[in-house]
Structure 1
Amino acid sequence: MQTQTRIVVVTGAGAGVGRAVAEEFARAGYDVAMLSREPGRLARAAAQLSGYGVRVLAIPTDVADAQAVEAAAARVESELGAIGVWVNVAMATVFAPVSALDARDVERATQVTYLGQVYGTMAALRRMRARNCGTIVNVGSALASRAVPLQSAYCGAKFAVRGFTDALRSEILHDGLDIHLSLIDLPAMNTPQFQWAANRTGKRARPIAPVFQPEVAARAIRFAAEHRRRTLWLGWPTARAIVADLLAPGLVDRYLAKAGYRGQLSDEPRADDAPDNLYAPVPGDFGAHGRFDDEARTTGAPLFTERHVQALKGGMALALIGAALMYARLVRRLGS
């Protein structure tokens, strides 16, 4: 086994969480390869990150193109060296009820958000297997366990990411490889996606509160990569959404039928000429943050690793057993 290098690849690194992740690793002394579609924004971000005294390689890449992702991985290893960490962040979505979706919209959102992570993982794994070392971090969402209305394409893709990641983890264990695979589930983040995501609702989209700054996610992702965490739920909102759906999915369905619409749409109409990045990148000097700085939280998001998650599930199981026993006693009393 070789020692893992401090070379990281980040997809979706031109803006949003990916941009914050790239900077987090650069600040920690990693050489960074940044993959994203918009060349100008990517080049500007790379120039900024080079100020940390690390090597930065910007590679314009559409992660929905498997050959392009493979070529990018080959270029990273040729110009920077062996990839130690690969972080799959890139995503695309469309805000719309299913009745307003076009099949092509769903296909494209799935290609970027799900297949983009698959292609990135495969490119990284192909190289890490040869060295028997490395870390892959897939970025999930609270919406990978509890879907919400108006984001069916995105939720479906994130559910698929979770299934793919779990399947691969078992394969890695079967093969006895010293390659680590993490899945990080995020809460609502203040990123530019709410300015440029495809939108068929007629209203401007917004994240469901509470909202966190992308740097909070970036710190969690580096923590998971460096401490070999299997699973990480970021923040109380993520834990609440997942646990609530396990305990009372029908109740959550009804709650989201109302709050899920209201919480994702502002009262402002969406302009007819608003940017849309589903099929092509939106040019401009976007950074990690979106337009919700005034409400986004910079700290205070607990990290629920697999150890905490198991404790939560254990507590839930005990609570359910206790409720079942109380119900059985009540039935017996009523029948006597």
Structure 2
Amino acid sequence: MAPTAPRSPWSRVGAIVLLLTALLSLIMIAFAWPATRSSVHDIPIAVAGPPAATAQIAQQLAAKRPGTFDVTVVDGTAAAERLILDREVYGAIDVSSGHPQLIIASAASPTVAQALQQVAQALGGAEPAVPVRDLVPLPADDPRGAGLAAGALPLVLGGIAAAGLLTSLVVGVARRLAGALAFSVTGALALTAILQFWLGSIEGSYWFNSGAVALGIAATALTILGLESLLGAAGLGLGAATMMLLGNPLSGLTSAPQMLPSGWGTFGQFLPRARRARCCAARRSSTVTPPRRTSGCCSAGRPSAWPSPAWRRCAPRAAPPRLSRHPPSDVPRRRPSETRSGPAHPPPPGVSPGPRSALSR
């Protein structure tokens, strides 16, 4: 009769239960806290028109909604539209014609667009409803932008899964790097085809959209591979946890980075998941950017698709390969007659061999 394995002590069971409880609480805080504490603050908008009218609008916004908007004053409608297309602002209040009108970009953030409409109607008071013009609308097949918001999670999961499988099944930094880059391309082509041709959640150039998604997947996979090369299994877990518990809830994809608790939205934009999310959000409509800016993939006017330098430094190419317990096949094995101090060569003629030191034994 084979001996049975000893049973685990109850103290270990209790410790695992407490650890799982703490982990579950951490996940709940990471996902629920930014959502429940989000508010409209420091939203960049433009006010277009004559100086006297724009000054009055800016004063009303500061008085009725202090700290809500970051106002940029421009001369006319064309300048305001340019700021919106360049993703410098989320919308504009235009009084160039003498009557206020609201210009929004629902593709940039449906939540912010709705908040701007409420503010514009409050500024109008008893006057007729302020006309609203959506300069960058959401695609007709996905007017709420639900497809992209729901499809963002599989993007980060794909990067985590790629890093996990490559570290488990592939040996060699160069091969892992090649596998991650190849998967970034093929995965991006597949996911973009689903989002664009089946769900209709994004529009524009399929190849440029795929390139943006590929850069995001590569940012996640290469970061985790680099951390695993530096820290081993702990780095793999640290990278996956960072992408899921920080990059996912702090991306601001479903609302806007400015609506997250102060400071956290800015921090989240430096993570690969958030940078990819804002890049994809900018491509919900083909009118978001002209072709000359399609490769820029900006958020608030700054390039955001390519991972930031801090994350690129964690790429596997920056980490030396870990030493293996087994020497490579192209390295000759030491013969029994060779010692750590080198191979045993016969002494020169006329020189008698000295006593062997303890280190060479």
| TM-score, normalising length: structure 1 | 0.28
State the structure with bigger RCO (CA 8 A, min sep 6), 1 or 2: 1
